[in-house]
Every structure is written in structure tokens, then in C-alpha cells.
Structure 1
Amino acid sequence: MKLAFAATTALLLTACSGGLKVVESDLQHHHWNLTAVNGEAVGADIKSELEIGEHFSINGQAGCNRFFGSATLKQGVLKAEPLATTQMACSPDAQKVEIAVLNTLNKGATVIQDSQQLILKGEEYTLTYQLADWMK
């Protein structure tokens, strides 16, 4: 009984101190659509998405350019560098989103994740993603 109480207490303290630990398998094989940058909705005309695949490969669309590379997850921080990107010209609004996405992924971001939402909290930007589907 004491052991069960101690385990439950430890779990509750972990949850209250910032969430349960995110592991690589929680993030792999998902397709996420960016919905907000720093709490401001991303325009419907701007496509930004993120996929994390097998062996923690990472790819997606930052704002108007595609990116790909590999990522790591260490102590709850997702970091993807170096990322390769295409080099298309972007509208000013898409460029702002792209800078936020690439900056956050390259510098690293704390991961906050539940079953339907992924938040990447970086030094300058907080990216909010909504689960689109499960990759196969």
C-alpha cells in the first residue's frame, strides 16, 4: 500500500511540475499542422507542417519552403540541426512563419505534448501544432 501511494505521489508531482516526460516514441510517426506562433493563429493560406518519422527523421513545410533532416530529444528538448531547406521565395507572412519554425527547430525547443497537440517552446517562439493524422 505504501509503495502504491509513493508511486502515485511521484507521478502526480511529475505531472504538476510540467508534465510527464516526453519520449521519442511519443513523437514519432505523427503528422502535425502548425496552428499558432506565439499564440497568434497562422493564416489558412500558410501551410506549415511537421512530421517526425522512424529514427527521428524530421521533415515538413516551414512556411513556404520544405525542410528535412534529423532531430534529437534530450531532457525534453527537441533539436533538429542542421536542416536542409528548399529555397523558394515566400510572401512576407509566410516568411515570418518560416523564420519562427526554422529558428525554433534549429535552436531547440522544450516539448509539451498531449494526444492531439504539440507545443514547441523555444527561446523566441512558441509553436503550437495540431495532430493531423498518424503516419504509417
Structure 2
Amino acid sequence: MKISMFLCALGAFLVGCSLTGTVNREQLKYTQWQLTHIGQDVIVDSSVSLRFIEAMQVNGFSGCNRFFGLGKIEEGQLFVRDMGMTRKLCDEPVNKVEQMLLNMLEIGVPAKIEKGTLIFSGQPRLTFKSIISVAG
């Protein structure tokens, strides 16, 4: 009986996520993502990554610097508050990608998971592939 209630609840949860098209904290928890596209441009061998761990803690590599903060999903948008980071200086193209990503995370960006990819629907759209699941 408990298993069937769990399966019904899980089904309702999954349908709800697919209908709204937004991501929730449970979908992100213990996942890691690597940037694959900026707009329509494919990023080859990108080192830009995000990782979501316990209590929506977020850390990652922005191409030049490591960053960390506390993630929050609010009205379909992902925010990262109390962000900290290393302070290396890199070349202009890398700095541009870094600033774009970090600005999106600070001001909030609509986020969804679609066909195994994490999509930030900002300007430009950023697409990430799943690279590992972090053990909980």
C-alpha cells in the first residue's frame, strides 16, 4: 500500500514538473552539469561546470574562477545567493563567459531540465549536460 502511494505521488510530481517546465530543488540535488552551448553555439571542451550538493549548495568552475553559494528556486528561477569566488584574471573571452554566468545566477535565471539537459533561459540561453550524479 505504501509503495503504491509513493508511486502515485512520484507520478504526480513528475507530471507537475513536465507541465510547468521549470526545475525544482529535488531535480538538482546531487547533480553536476557542464556547459555545452551558449545560444546556438556549441562549446567544445568547456570547463564551465555547476554542481548542486546538500541543502542546495552550489559550487562550480566558471572557466577561470571557482565559485560557491547557496542556491534557491523561486517562481521557476534559479538564484545563487552569498556567492564567493576565487579572483584569478583570465583572458577576455573567458572573463566574458564567466561574468555572464555569474550575473545570471545572482539576478536569477529561468531554469528547466529537458531531455537530460539543464537549460538557463537567459540572454543568451545556456545549455548544460549532466556529467555525474554526486552521492548523497
- CA deviation vs aligned residue, 1:51-71 (integer Å, no higher than 9, x gap): 011100000001210000101
Unaligned stretches of 5+ in structure 2? 1-11
Q: For each residue in 1:96-115, what CA deviation from the matched residue of structure 2 results, as whole angstroms up to 9, or x when unmatched?
A: 21011101111111111035
Q: Distance in 1 between matches of 2:103 and 2:124?
A: 8
Q: Which runs of 5+ in 1 are unaligned?
A: 1-7
Q: Given residue 33 of structure 2, which amino acid in structure 1 is its aligned partner?
A: W
Identity across the alignment (%): 27
Query: Structure 1 residue 114 and structure 2 residue 114: aligned?
Result: yes
Question: Please, what is the CA RMSD of the aligned residues?
Answer: 2.1
Aligned to 2:91: 91
Aligned to 2:132: 133
The question of whether the paired residues in 2 share the 8 Å contact of 1:37 and 1:100 is answered with no
Q: Using a 3 Å threshold, how does the CA distance of structure 1 residues 129 and 43 change in structure 2: closer, same or farther? A: same
Q: Distance in 2 between matches of 1:39 and 1:86?
A: 29
Please give the TM-score of this superposition, normalised by the length of structure 1.
Answer: 0.79
1:4 corresponding residue in structure 2: none
Q: Does 1:37 align with 2:38?
A: yes
Number of positions where the alignment pairs a residue of Structure 1 with one of Structure 2: 121
1:11-90 map, 5 Å? 15=19, 19=21, 21-44=22-45, 46-90=46-90
Give the Å deviation of 1:125: 2.9
SS of residue paired to 2:47? coil
CA distance in 1, matches of 2:86, 2:47: 15
Is residue 102 from structure 1 mapped to residue 98 from structure 2 by the alignment? no
